[in-house]
Structure 1
Amino acid sequence: MSYEEYAQRLSAGLSAAARSVWAKHDWDSGGWLPLWRHMGDSAGVAAYLWDEWLAPQVRVRISEALPEGEADGRRLAVWLAMVHDIGKATPAFACQVDELAEGMRSNGLVMDSAKQMTERSKAPHGVAGQLLLVGWLQGRGWSRREVQQFSVVVGGHHGVPPGDMDLREAAQEPALLYGPAGTESWRQVQGELLDGAAAACRIGGRLPAWQSAKLPQPGQVLLSALVIVSDWIASNSALFPYFQQSGGAGAERVSQALQRLDLPAPWRPRPPRGGAQEVFAARFPWAEEARVRPVQQAALAAARAMEEPGMLVIEAPMGEGKTEAALVAAEVLAAASGAGGCFIALPTMATSNAMFPRLTEWIGSLERAGTASVFLAHSKAALNEHYAGLLFGGQEPVQDVDRDGSPGRRGGASGGLVAHRWLRGRKKGMLSDFAAGTIDQLLFAGLKSRHLALRHLALAGKVVVIDEAHAYDTYMNTYLDTVLAWLGAYRVPVVVLSATLPARRRRQLVEAYCQARRDAPEFDPVEQAEGYPLLTSAVPGSPPRVTALEASGRRTEVHIERLADDPRLLSRRLEEELADGGCALVVRNTVKRVHAAARELREYFEGTDVEVSVAHARFVDLDRAGKDRELLASFGPPAKVAELGGRRPEHPRVVVASQVAEQSLDIDFDLLVTDLAPIDLLLQRMGRLHRHLRGEGQGERPKRLRTARCLITGADWERHPPEPDGGSEFVYRPYPLLRAAAVLNPFLEAASAGGRTGVVRLPDDIDRLVQQAYGPGPAGPPEWGGAMEKAAEKHVLEQAKKAEDARAFLLGAPARPGRPLTGWVEAGVGDADDTPRGRAQVRDTGESLEVLVLQRRADGALTTLPGLGEERGGIELPTEFAPPEDAARIAAASALRLPFPLVRPDVIDRVIEELERDCFPAWQGKDAHWVAGELLLILDEDCRARLAGFDVHYSHEDGLEVTDGA
């Protein structure tokens, strides 16, 4: 059957009354669409999506409980898409447009006017449709239990499956569903359309076999999502024009629409052939003499050895090529599972931006035909230059039926990659074949929210890679574990990466994916495994496998010692260490400490050739990107430095940074000074020491810095146990800091005895230190015991509260097969999106405010910030009308999040009130989408402002500084 034939079969023989029922109407043009035509369009689209767009592993999940497998799955999906809007064949819906309702009345469909139908809201057409389908199936001998798992797909096609109360309330208003008492015309037309749909989709003979099926909830979710996507496409009037009058449509209507839509076919992966060296060399731009590393070789072998796709956890040191290992493993697992794409989840926007070009390079190396759709999944994606190059190509735009506020821009292809014009916005972007983005995009799949089924469809067709798995707190892990349970139910292959993963957390990840009860004995080996690097593979229903590996052979001995938390002492020590040149990284746990240290160092080194710079997250986006480029051009791998036209500093250089230095950048320093932090983060920071080989025996480094050394500060070391800085305790809580100090204490004690230094050997000591710090055993000297125990008790209570808070909108685990999705996301958050408010649902971040930072010159003109570069800085912005496209984009890229003092509960309302005074009405329309709805922080000619009693200052050197103006 062609995609056109569904409408042709349905319309054949329909009565005039059935043909008069309307589904779509445009108030401006008067155009309308009959329900039978929209039903046929939706069915044709669903058939096309099944045949040409869905990943094979999604089709399998939908079909696995049906007697004839995928043949039944296709029939069921197309039929449900055809009948999804049957609820529009009710008085409650049809009365809304008088002239169309009058046409229906003239064909015997009696109804009151919309004003007379005061209870109309009790029977929205999704709920009404579910009830009509229930009645139709029960008339064929189905029980209520049997029918609900199918009918809920119709009820939930607007993104929220109805709850029991919704269904009962609508059922109690029969006049809204079937017309006035004593009339049968509505029931006749409803039956005629449902009978016609069954005949058009040829499912009548399959109903008895489906009656005994028990659809798993994952299959119901995917059917719901497929129906939603089919409806959105078929509702797009640019693709499927409305009728200007009743009658037929073009014979090639569906085919022409789908040709214009031009969705890329999913990736059809082939298992990579050859040995590890051959595979990795083909995928990544390695030097000719480079050799595959043991963990990469083992990851490829482990993926190939898995009996069926499951979870692979790769634990290996920093710089061992885990990302490359994950991508090759994903390729193997995708081929085995029938995945049609890949999503890489990372901790931050910065890490996502850094990953995106690596992802596209890997896609370019794959054996594939046609175009692949790609997506950068975070709220600032359109400001990423690499992604923007794909966004602003030459494709003809198609109007988006899902008006979700995303820019209606054009998409373009480059090198076989396309940021597809229809796959945009917070609801559809993740449906692209390949995506990199923040972990929030993954965690949203565990959040009760509208159109959640679309997020599940987006993930169910991919391999999911979770990077930096150690970086998430209890609140986020609560969501992550729920999402992993659903991914396991979908049989989505998952690859988890970490350099510093606690054994307990490793076990929890595997148990969640396998949907096992906590502490099941068969998972003991996962937690008890020894060795590092380590690979863990798990498939639901089978015992997990754990394999210890050898590292690549490259090791770094980091000599660590305490340093008192005294700014003047730090300055003198750096003067001594950098006497012969070199580059030092000073990592602080708060931006306030970054600024304080930078001020002290600049004052101390004034008049010398020592340069002091800062790096943290409190820069506007454009400056932050420039800072990252500059760091890579000065401290990155030699190849990256050359690519960016940079060079290693010739004179002494000190970079004072916040946590941005521990995650997102491949940078390398001669000396490290760091605040005390949780042990996994300390080890990540140590990974920035002597990260790259600079000459034989590091001979190209200054002589006194050829030994990697880390000075740990940020605590009062005279106390027992040491007392961390208050800001560090606020960020990380005391107990993880004390556990880090405890496991490092033997090394630090050795450093203070007789002038010797304690040596942490990377990677050999990584796993041991992490497991000791996060394990249940005691740590630290006996005299620390009381304080440690008190901190532990408080920590347990705090973590329990975080977990409990996270459950407020947490999705439940998959229920038993056959249980309908009724009420699946009841008491949810509504729409979830990648905004500060949306991210706060899945991150324990508290209040957050983002502002666009602009300047008011002395002459009164509003401009972008000076100093952003010749083409970006100081551009005048109109306030009486929307700014031009290019200028608005620069303004949007001048965003930053306000720091804690300005978002405290007692201050934030006043901050918002003051910022809203600078809201320009002309900037709020759809033609100003880059800046509409944004808060503006407008600085004076000296880049200063007064906000809620605080003095605010911004500079391109130091970012945003906030001081109490009292």
Structure 2
Amino acid sequence: MVTSLFLAHGKRELNDEYETLRERWFDDGHGLDLSLRTRSSAGYVDGDTDGVGSSMGLQAVVNSWLTGRKRGNLSDFVVGTIDQVLMAGLRCRHVVLRHMALAGKVVILDEIHSNTAYMNVYMETVLAWLGAYGVPVIMLSATLPQSRRKAFLNAYRHGSHAADAVESVEKRCQTGGDAVSARPQGRKRLLDRKARYNRSMISSALSSASASAEDDAGSVTRTAGTAPDAVSGKPDLRYPLISVSNAEGFADISPEPSGRAADVTVSMIADDDDTLVDTLKTYLQDGGCAVVIRDTVARAQHTYDLLSQRMNTDVMLAHSRFLACDRARIDRELIRRYGKRGDRNRRSGIVVATQVVEQSLDVDFDLMITDAAPIDLILQRAGRLHRHRRGIGECERPEPLRHARMIITGVEEVDDRQPPRFARGLEQVYQRYLLMRSLSVLRIGAQGSTTIRVPDDIPRLVQTVYGIGDICPATWRSGKYGERSARNDMEGVIANSENQAGQLRIFTPMDRRRPFSLDGWLYVNLPDPDAPGRSREQLVSAGVRESDDSFEVIVLQRDMDGNLQLPSWAFPSSAPLPAGTGVPDRQQVRDILSCTISLSRSSMKGCGVDAIIKALEHAVPEQWDVYMENRELARQLLVVLDGDGSATYAVDDSNKEGEIMKTLHVRYSKEKGLTADVE
């Protein structure tokens, strides 16, 4: 069977497997590396790999008509970031096309606990519409707070119920001889499918759960109306837990746990360089590997410099301020060394990383030292500690590291007499309220430790931190920096985020004024976030993400003659880029696009985003003007480094308070990534 496939993110052209399919199915592959044209595109399901004549075989196709930015999501199978779904709730051009793309699919969303309050406004909006369309949605998370689970279930149910209400009105009109004509066949099929799905979903879930309960002592709960945990108000500590929702109500299914669990000892150390170095030397004296997770890139880069100088072992750095090609190289190296089937002879050293190792990367470390973070993220990070079994009784790990150990740092001062003081920058990333409560629920101090059992303790820890009521010690609750003040601050931030997101989202199908009317969706609208161009227009992607405004640039170097070249550390043997009026070929364009990096106000030491963009546009070399005749390079911003990896730009960061001229110094290395200083 032939099926179309689309990779829905901005770096799809850099994915070798995707390019193989794209070139094979609608191009001659001219100008592309020969190795990309020799890979198989056949896939098989249910372990059937004989291939010949199998009715289960799937032939993946990248359809030429479906490769456009606006049409790609119409493919049979789409793999992308969660933004692709959230943008179906954003008032932007072509949003109806996004709804059309989702309406006939099964939508699977992973790691949904990582959504912010801002993103969840769009998430609930889209879930309501998917419920109205009868689209099956599968949402996955190991650490989702109970309140979020309830909100997602209710959003989907309300959308499904709203659709049923509108359909019943249409039926009454038709029965009464109204002029409403028969439904178009396409819509009738969609509604019939939705009705069958709604009738069968909960009944099949209950049947499966009942069988599971009989065989494995699991449990099942069915509730009509509000989400089940809203009825009692008590935290639901069942784990694992499967919740099912549609217009008819809810069903909770708690299958028997797998029985796999791991004990993790959690302790705390002081947040200073000497303590960190001494701790690592103590635990790694017999070898092994450790990961140090920092909450900010600046802290990660500082830690990398420190450990590179004072530890007699290999140190790697992983964070978001590397070029795309370097991030791919680092990810591959991490998998080769610390993955499930990594090289045993190379499983030693230290990895310093930011949140990039929390998800997606299947890596396994003997020891973890991490900055304080909300409890759900602490538990996600714990998933990279003793992730895979290394021999009987972990005998393949060094003897001091055969028991999983997580060490918390990033707390400058903690005692029972006053609220804790966190390291600089942590409260800019995470809410103080969640940091305090997470520290409290772990019940660790400067000298103490505790043991948590994963996954058994996950629901208790997460629901306690994200539940209602005070949980911190009495001496941490009052005052300017206490738990109650921090709660008020967080509630204010969340309310502001939700209000801002609400200004740019489409209405829900439950809107009583005009249910299911398309009128007014774009009274206030943004350009299509997937439209080409990477300067000011790219900032619109922040429509579904509330964060420091960022924009993407391409980083190249100048050679000794002053011409542009690919970064020497990433492409040491590549052919020179064309000079004069020459334009790069397709492989060179692909290589250039792999040299992208995101810049923001914080990474640029407080310089305004518009001011930086203006400075980069003013400094564009003539050679780049020629390159931008290529559609893929059109309107791309460029940073040009010298042979030493440095660049300097004059930035006019003037504002209403007066003229402010700054000198921005940018430096890049393959070991540390991007750093910046301002004069």
Is 1:392 the counterpart of 2:23? The answer is yes
Aligned residue in 2 for 1:826: 523
C-alpha distance 669-620 of structure 1, shift in aligned 2 (>3 A): same
What does residue 536 of structure 1 align with?
A: 243
TM alignment of 1:510-909, pairs within 5 A: 510-515=153-158, 522-525=226-229, 528=234, 529-540=236-247, 542-605=248-311, 608=312, 610-638=313-341, 641=342, 646-649=343-346, 652-718=348-414, 720-744=418-442, 746=443, 748-749=444-445, 752-753=447-448, 757-786=449-478, 787-814=482-509, 815=511, 820-833=517-530, 836-872=538-574, 875-878=576-579, 880-901=581-602, 906-909=607-610
Between Structure 1 and Structure 2, which shows a larger proportion of strand residues? 2
Instruction: Work out the CA distance in 2 between the residues paired with 1:604 and 1:889.
Output: 39
Cα gap change, 1:705/1:467 in structure 2, threshold over 3 Å: closer, same or farther?
same
Match of 2:667?
Answer: 953
Change (3 A) 1:879 1:659: farther
- Please say if residues 849 and 903 of structure 1, whose CA atoms lie closer than 8 Å, have aligned partners that are also in contact: no
Quick one: structure 1 residues 924 and 473, their matched pair in 2 at CA, closer, same or farther if it must change by over 3 Å?
farther
Is the Cα–Cα contact under 8 Å of residues 549 and 600 in structure 2 kept in the other structure? no
Equivalent position amino acid for 1:794 in 2: D
Give the Å deviation of 1:877.
4.3
Match runs of 1:445-464 below 5 Å? 445-464=88-107
2:676 aligned counterpart, secondary structure: strand
Identify unmatched segments of 5+ residues in structure 1. 1-368, 398-409
Change (3 A) 1:467 1:648: farther
One-letter identity of the residue aligned with 2:594: A
Aligned residues: 565
User: Would the aligned equivalents of 2:646 and 2:667 in 1 still touch at CA under 8 Å?
Assistant: yes
Cα distance change, pair 819–455 in 1 and its aligned pair in 2 (3 A): closer
Measured against aligned partners, the alpha-carbon deviations of 1:426-457 in whole angstroms (never above 9, x if no partner) come to 21000000011011110110011222211101
Cα distance, 1:905 vs structure 2? 6.8
CA spacing shift, 1:742–1:922, aligned 2, 3 Å: closer
Shift in CA distance, 393/440, structure 1 to aligned 2, threshold 3 Å = same
Assess if the C-alpha contact under 8 Å between 1:882 and 1:923 holds in 2: no
- Bigger drift between 543-552 and 372-381 goes to 543-552
Q: Distance in 1 between matches of 2:253 and 2:97?
A: 36
CA distance in 1, matches of 2:68, 2:539: 17
Q: Which residue of 2 aligns with 1:176?
A: none
Residue ranges of structure 2 left out of the alignment (5+ in a row)? 29-36, 43-58, 163-222, 652-662
Partners of 1:545 and 1:520 lie apart in 2 by 9
Question: 1:360 corresponds to which residue?
Answer: none
Post-superposition Cα deviations, 1:235-293, rounded to whole Å, max 9, x if no partner, equal xxxxxxxxxxxxxxxxxxxxxxxxxxxxxxxxxxxxxxxxxxxxxxxxxxxxxxxxxxx
Measured after TM superposition, the shift of residue 503 of structure 1 is: 0.4
Contact 1:879 1:922 (8 Å CA) reproduced:
no
* Aligned ranges 1:349-388 → 2 under 5 Å: 369=1, 371-388=2-19
Q: Are the counterparts in 2 of residues 633 and 647 from structure 1 also a CA contact under 8 Å?
A: no
Q: Give, in whole Å, the separation in 2 of the partners of 1:712 and 1:767.
A: 20
Q: How much has 1:876 moved relative to structure 2?
A: 3.1
Shift of 1:389: 1.1
Task: Go from structure 1 to structure 2 and tell me whether the alpha carbon gap of 1:902 and 1:591 turns closer, same or farther (over 3 Å shift).
Answer: closer
**Residues of 1 paired with 2:370 and 2:674: CA distance?**
22
Percent identity between the aligned chains? 40
Q: Which has the higher helix share?
A: 1
Structure 2 match to 1:912: 613
Give the match's secondary structure for 1:961.
strand
For residues 650-677 of structure 1, the C-alpha deviation after alignment (integer angstroms, 9 at most, x for no partner) is: 5x40000010010120100000000001
Letter in 1 for 2:41: S
Q: Secondary structure at the match of 1:629?
A: helix
Task: Quickly say closer, same or farther: Cα 1:494–1:919, change in 2 above 3 A.
Answer: farther
- Give 1:841's aligned amino acid: G
CA distance in 2, matches of 1:592, 1:626: 21
* Aligned residues of 1:485 and 1:512 also touching (Cα < 8 A): yes
User: 1:87-236 to 2 correspondence within 5 Å?
Assistant: none
Q: Partner residue of 1:472? A: 115
Note closer, same or farther for the CA distance 1:442–1:920 as it changes in structure 2 (3 Å cut): farther
Determine if contact 1:562/1:717 at 8 Å carries over to the other structure.
no
Match of 2:634 among 932, 951, 962: 932
Q: Distance in 2 between matches of 1:710 and 1:902?
A: 29
Shift of 1:887: 1.5
Distance 2:80 2:593 in 1: 19
- Native 8 Å contact 1:915 1:935 kept in 2: yes
CA distance in 1, matches of 2:582, 2:667: 28
* Contact preservation (8 Å) 1:462, 1:493: yes
Q: Secondary structure at the match of 2:584?
A: coil
| Amino acid in structure 1 at the alignment position of 2:319 | H
Distance 1:871 1:418 in 2: 33
Q: Distance in 2 between matches of 1:879 and 1:895?
A: 23
Deviation at 1:897, TM superposition (A): 0.7
SS of match in other structure, 1:672: strand
Which structure ranks higher in relative contact order (CA pairs < 8 Å, sequence separation ≥ 6)?
2
Q: CA deviation at 1:862?
A: 1.6
- Letter of the 2:524 partner, please give it: A
| Counterparts of 1:819 and 1:770, CA distance in 2 | 37
- When Rg is computed on C-alpha atoms for both structures, the one with the higher figure is 1
CA contact (8 A) 1:875 1:887 kept: no
Deviation at 1:472, TM superposition (A): 0.4
3-state DSSP of counterpart to 2:299: helix
The equivalent residue for 1:438 is: 81
* 8 Å Cα contact 2:373-2:435 kept in structure 1: yes
Tell me the CA shift for residue 760 of structure 1. Answer: 1.1
1:525 touches 1:546 (CA, 8 Å); kept in 2? Answer: no
Distance 1:782 1:819 in 2: 51
Amino acid at match of 2:357: A
Instruction: State the distance in 1 between where 2:366 and 2:627 align.
Output: 51
Q: Secondary structure at 2:592's aligned position in 1? A: helix
The structure-2 alpha-carbon separation of the partners of 1:467 and 1:859, relative to structure 1 and needing over 3 Å to count, comes to same
> Amino acid of the residue matched to residue 954 of structure 1?
Y
Shift of 1:385: 1.3
In the aligned structure 1, how far is the partner of 2:363 from the partner of 2:492?
Answer: 38
- Under a length normalisation based on structure 2, what TM-score does the superposition of the two structures give? 0.79
**Partner secondary structure for residue 726 of structure 1:** coil
* 2:26 maps to amino acid: Q
Measure how far apart 1:819 and its partner are. Answer: 6.1
For 2:134 and 2:260, how far apart are their aligned partners in 1?
36
The 2-side partners of 1:714 and 1:388 are apart by 43
2:264–2:454 CA contact under 8 A, matched in 1: yes
Aligned-partner Cα distance in 1 for 2:436–2:386? 27
Q: Which amino acid aligns with 1:386?
A: E
State the 1:781 CA deviation: 0.7
Partners of 2:224 and 2:249 within 8 A in 1: no
1: CA distance, partners of 2:521 / 2:552:
32
1: distance between equivalents of 2:558 and 2:471? 56
